[in-house]
Structure 1
Amino acid sequence: MASLNFKVAPAVQATEAPPIPKAQAWGCQYVSSPSAPLLDLSQGVPRDAPHPSVLAALSKVASDPQAARYGAILGEPGLRQALAEEIKVQYHISGQGVTSEDVAITTGCNMAFLSLLMTLCPPGKSSVLLPLPAYFNHTMSLSLQDVKPVYVLCEPDNMFKASLLSARSYLASLRKENGDRREPRMIVLVSPSNPTGTVYTNEEIKQWYDLAREYKVALVLDETYRDFVEGESRERGLPHRLFEEPDWRSTLVSLGSFSKGYRIPGHRLGSIIASPELLRHITTICDCMQICPPRPPQIALIPLLPSLRADLLAASLRLLHRRHLFETTVNAISGWKVISSGGFFAYVQFPDNYIYASSILGLKRKKLGSEDVARVLALQCGVVTLPGSFFMPPVVDDEQWDDILNGETLRQDKWLRFAVANVEDDVILSLGPRLKLMNKIMGVDDEGVTSQ
Structure 2
Amino acid sequence: MARAGEAVLLPAPWYFNHQMTLNMLGIEARPLPCLAAGGFVPDLAAAERLIDGRVRAIVLVTPNNPTGAIYPAAVIAGFAALARARGIALIVDETYRDFLGDGAGRAHELFADPAWRDTVIQLYSFSKAYAVPGHRLGAITAGPAAMAGILKILDSFQICPARPGQTALAWAIEGLADWRAATRSTINGRIDAFRTVMQACPGWAISSIGAYFAYVRHPFAGVPAERVAEALATGRGVLGLPGSYFGPGQDGHLRFAFANADEAAIATLPARLAGLAP
Short-chain TM bin: over 0.9
Q: How far apart, CA to CA, are the structure 1 residues paired with 2:102 and 2:261?
A: 22
Q: How far apart, CA to CA, are the structure 1 residues paired with 2:270 and 2:105?
A: 30
Q: How far apart, CA to CA, are the structure 2 residues paired with 1:303 and 1:270?
A: 15
- The Cα of 1:371 is off from its aligned counterpart by 0.9
Whether the 8 Å CA contact 1:386–1:416 is kept in 2: the answer is yes
Whether the 8 Å CA contact 1:230–1:237 is kept in 2: the answer is no
Q: Which runs of 5+ in 2 are unaligned?
A: none
Q: How far apart, CA to CA, are the structure 1 residues paired with 2:234 and 2:24?
A: 32
TM-score (norm 1): 0.60
Alignment of 1:378-393 (within 5 A): 378-393=233-248
Alignment-derived partner of residue 221 in structure 1? 92
Of 142-151 and 308-317, more deviation after overlay is shown by 308-317
- The Cα of 1:220 is off from its aligned counterpart by 0.4
Q: How far apart, CA to CA, are the structure 2 residues paired with 1:282 and 1:373?
A: 40
Cα deviation 1:134-173 (Å, max 9, x = unaligned):
00000110011010011011111111112222111122xx
Whether the 8 Å CA contact 1:228–1:316 is kept in 2: the answer is yes
2:62 corresponds, among 166, 191, 205, to: 191
Letter in 2 for 1:166: A
Alignment-derived partner of residue 254 in structure 2? 416
Whether the 8 Å CA contact 1:227–1:237 is kept in 2: the answer is no
Matched, 1:122 2:3: yes
1:337 corresponds, among 205, 209, 212, to: 205
Cα deviation 1:384-421 (Å, max 9, x = unaligned):
1000000014xxxxxxxxxxxxxxxxx26211000010
Q: How far apart, CA to CA, are the structure 2 residues paired with 1:338 and 1:242?
A: 30
Higher helix share: 1
Cα deviation 1:430-452 (Å, max 9, x = unaligned):
111001132xx36xxxxxxxxxx
Q: How far apart, CA to CA, are the structure 2 residues paired with 1:160 and 1:331?
A: 21
Alignment-derived partner of residue 215 in structure 2? 347
Whether the 8 Å CA contact 1:229–1:238 is kept in 2: the answer is no
Whether the 8 Å CA contact 2:102–2:184 is kept in 1: the answer is no
Matched, 1:277 2:145: yes
State the secondary structure of the residue aligned to 2:30. Answer: strand
- The Cα of 1:331 is off from its aligned counterpart by 2.4
Alignment of 1:154-173 (within 5 A): 154-171=34-51
Matched, 1:303 2:174: no
- The number of residues matched between the two structures is 278
Q: How far apart, CA to CA, are the structure 1 residues paired with 2:81 and 2:24?
A: 29
State the secondary structure of the residue aligned to 1:239. Answer: coil
Cα deviation 1:30-61 (Å, max 9, x = unaligned):
xxxxxxxxxxxxxxxxxxxxxxxxxxxxxxxx
Q: How far apart, CA to CA, are the structure 2 residues paired with 1:282 and 1:412?
A: 33
Whether the 8 Å CA contact 2:226–2:244 is kept in 1: the answer is yes
Q: Percent identity?
A: 41
Letter in 2 for 1:378: A
Higher strand share: 2
Alignment of 1:234-245 (within 5 A): 237-245=105-113
Cα deviation 1:260-282 (Å, max 9, x = unaligned):
00000011111110112321221
Q: How far apart, CA to CA, are the structure 2 residues paired with 1:371 and 1:312?
A: 34
Q: How far apart, CA to CA, are the structure 1 residues paired with 2:112 and 2:14?
A: 28
Q: How far apart, CA to CA, are the structure 1 residues paired with 2:29 and 2:114?
A: 30
2:77 corresponds, among 181, 206, 224, to: 206
Cα-Cα RMSD: 1.4
Cα deviation 1:346-396 (Å, max 9, x = unaligned):
100111xx12xxxxxxxxxxx321111111111111111000000014xxx
Alignment-derived partner of residue 126 in structure 2? 258
Flag the structure with larger Rg: 1
**Looking at both structures, which has the greater relative contact order when contacts are Cα pairs under 8 Å and sequence separation is at least 6?**
1
